[in-house]
Structure 1
Amino acid sequence: MKTPTLLYDFLRTYWPPVDDGFAAVWVEGTGIEETASRLRADLDSATVCPLRGIGRGFDGDDRPDDYAGIVLVGESGSWTLAVQIQGMDVTTDRALAELSRDGGRAISIGWHANGGHTTTYAVDGTVVSSGDIRYVPPSLEHYAQDLRIPDFDDEDSDDFPIEEMITKVLVVIGRATGQEIDEDWLEEDHVRYIIPRDAWMDDTTF
C-alpha cells in the first residue's frame, strides 16, 4: 500500500532541501528547448545532468548569481517537466501564461521556506486557477474524485499535513498529464538551463 506522502518522499530523496523550497511546472505541447525558451532561459547554458547534480559543475564566470534561476527540463510522458531549484520563475502567472499559449496547458506547484504553497493552472495563455495548495484547483477537481483530501481548519493550520497534500496534488497533476513524477525522472539526466536574473523584468522597470 502506498504511503500518503510517497511522492513528497521521492522529492526529498533526490532533492533533500525540498522542505526549504521547490518549484516545478508541467507543460503540454512544447519540447525541452521550447519550454526553456518560453521560460526565458539562456539556451547556451544548456548542460546535461540529473537533479542531484543540478548545482554542480559551474566554473568561474559560468556560476549563476543568487538571483538567477536554475532549472532542469526534461520529457515527462507526452508533457515537459521543468524543475527549478533557485528562484520561483516557473510558478508565476506570467510564466504559466507564456508556457500554455497557442493552445497548450501548464500546471505548476511551488513553495518556499516561509510557506507560500501554491498550485497554478493555465490554458491557452490564460491562468484559470491559482491558489493555496491545500485546495485542489476547481478546474482539476475531477482528477481527484477518489482521493482522500486532508481536512483543513484555519484554526489548526500549523497541524495541516502539508506533505500529504503535496503528494495528493502531485497525483492529480500526474493524472492530468498522464505521467506522475517518479524516481526514474528524478534520477535520470535532463537538461539544465540558467534563467538570467533580469529575464522576467520588463524594460519599463528600468
Structure 2
Amino acid sequence: MSTKEIGMRHSERLWHLAYKYGMGSSFDGMWVEGLEVAEVAERLGGAVAGECGWADLLKGVGEGTGVVWAGRLNGDWTQVVHLGVEALDVEPLSEGNRRALRFGWHVNGVGDLVYAVDGACVTVFGVTRPGGRRGREPQALDPYAEGLRFDLQDSSWENDPDLPPGWREYSAWEEARLEGDLPDDAYDDMPPEWSDLLELAVNGYSPPLAACITSALTLVGRVTGRELDEAWMREIHTRFLFER
C-alpha cells in the first residue's frame, strides 16, 4: 500500500520519501557546495565505479563494501547518499571556503545535523531536542529553522487528523504488548488492517520522529535551495565504493 493510501502528514513527507526508497530506518546524507562529484569522491577517498540508478546501486557490490551515490542537486550543491559507510567526515568537503552539511539516522536514533564551513565544524544542530545547539556558531542554522519541528517529545500529533488511519489505536495496542499486557502471540490476533502500520513501525516510523527528520531535511533544503525529492531519486548519479 502506498504512502498516499495509508495517509501522510505534510510534516512527515520527507521521512516517507526515504521510506519509499528503503531508508526509513537508516539514512546517511551529505551536501556540499561548489564541488563536482569526482572531487567529492576524491576528498572522501572513494573509488568511482560508474553511474547508475537507485535500483542498481548495490548491484555487484560485495559484502564489506560501502557505497556512495552522489549527484548534482542544483547549480551550486551536490547531494551525497551513502550506504554501509561509517564515519565519513563532512569537514573536508567544506575546505576551500565552501559550506557542507551532514545528517542521518539509524535504528538506534537520529543523528545531529552538522554544518561545516571552510574545513571546520561550525554548528551541531540537535534535530530532536528543542534548542539543542553547539559549536563555534551554535545559532548559524536558526534562520533556516523557522516553523519546523525539532522535538521528539512533541505529542501534538495525537490530535492530527492527517495521521495514518488507525495509528492511534495501533500505537495503544503496541504499547500494551510491549508492557506485557498482551499474550506473546498477540501478533496472530492483530487486526489485518494494521499490517501496513506494523510495516511502518518496523521501518522506524513514529509521528514525532518522522516530523523531526522531515524538518531536518527541510532545513537542509532551505540551505541548499532544493530538498531531497522524488525527481533526484529517480535520476542517474555517480556511484563510488569504499572498502570497509
Compute the TM-score of the two structures, normalised by the length of structure 2.
0.67
What is the aligned partner in structure 2 of residue 130 from structure 1? 124
Asked if 1:69 corresponds to 2:76, the answer is no
The residue correspondences of 1:41-190 to structure 2 (distance < 5 A) are 41-43=46-48, 46-56=49-59, 58=60, 63-66=61-64, 68-77=65-74, 78-90=76-88, 95-135=89-129, 138-145=139-146, 147-153=147-153, 161-190=208-237
CA RMSD of aligned residues (A): 2.4
The 3 A distance-change label for structure 1 pair 11 and 75 is same
- The amino acid of 1:189's aligned partner reads I
Decide whether aligned partners of structure 1 residues 40 and 129 sit closer, same or farther in structure 2, where only a CA change above 3 A counts.
same
Question: Which protein has the larger Cα radius of gyration, Structure 1 or Structure 2?
Answer: 2
Q: Count residues with an aligned counterpart.
A: 179
Task: Give 5+ residue unaligned stretches, structure 2.
Answer: 1-7, 134-138, 155-174, 176-205
Q: Larger strand proportion, structure 1 or 2?
A: 1
Which residue is 2:41 aligned to?
36
| Structure 1 segments unaligned to the other structure (5+ residues) | 198-206
- The percentage of counterpart residues that share the same residue type is 31
Shift of 1:151: 3.7
**Cα distance, 1:69 vs structure 2:** 1.9
Counterpart of 2:208 in structure 1: which amino acid? P
Structure 1 pair 113–27 and aligned structure 2 pair: CA distance change class (3 A): same
Letter in 1 for 2:63: D
Q: TM-score, normalised by structure 1?
A: 0.78
Shift in Å, 1:50 = 1.7
Alpha carbons of structure 1 residues 160 and 8: separation in structure 2 relative to 1, 3 Å: closer
CA contact (8 A) 1:23 1:84 kept: yes
Contact 1:11 1:186 in 2 (8 A): no
CA distance in 2, matches of 1:142, 1:131: 12
> Post-superposition shift, 1:30?
0.4
